[in-house]
Amino acid sequence: DVKVTQSSRYLVKRTGEKVFLECVQDMDHENMFWYRQDPGLGLRLIYFSYDVKMKEKGDIPEGYSVSREKKERFSLILESASTNQTSMYLCASINRAGGETQYFGPGTRLLVL
């Protein structure tokens, strides 16, 4: 019954490190999303992708990049991790028409020291 998986549940990294967060979905969805969730701020969209090799900036793309080389996989990259990127990161996917529900992964809790 696995639908959206994320590579790590918990991650601890040091300031300046390059961090890769992987997301894989098995529903053949075209659209995939990366959000971060912080207390008091809710879920904020970082990047999304509507097709392989396509990407769009969300509300808070600074300090992040993404990669979508295969339809089922969407990666979030922190080029040089900073302490203000400590957060819960959530990946999601939905079919192109958007008529179905959006499925979320279990989340990755990232701590940058």
Partner 1 sequence: KQEVTQIPAALSVPEGENLVLNCSFTDSAIYNLQWFRQDPGKGLTSLLLIQSSQREQTSGRLNASLDKSSGRSTLYIAASQPGDSATYLCAVYQAGTALIFGKGTTLSVSS
Supply the DSSP symbol for 79.
Answer: S
Q: Does 82 bind partner 1 (CB under 8 A)?
A: no
Q: Which two tokens stand for residue 5?
A: 């998986």
Tell me how far, at minimum, the Cβ of 43 lies from partner 1, in Å.
4
CB of 26 to partner 1, least distance (A): 15
Where do the DSSP E strands lie in the chain? 4-6, 10-13, 19-25, 31-38, 42-49, 56-57, 64-70, 73-78, 87-94, 103-104, 108-112
Does position 90 interact with partner 1 (CB under 8 A)? The reply is: yes
Least distance between partner 1 and beta carbon 16 (Å)? 27
Write out the binding residues for partner 1, residues 45-64 only, by CB under 8 A: 45, 48, 58
Burial of 11 (0-12, 13-18, 19+ CB in 10 A): middle
Residue with tokens 């990232």: 110
Encoded one letter per residue, x for contact with partner 1 by CB under 8 A and - for no contact, window 92-111 reads x-x---xxxxxxxxxx-x--
Q: Which residues sit at the interface with partner 1, rule CB under 8 A?
A: 31, 33, 40-43, 45, 48, 58, 88, 90, 92, 94, 98-107, 109
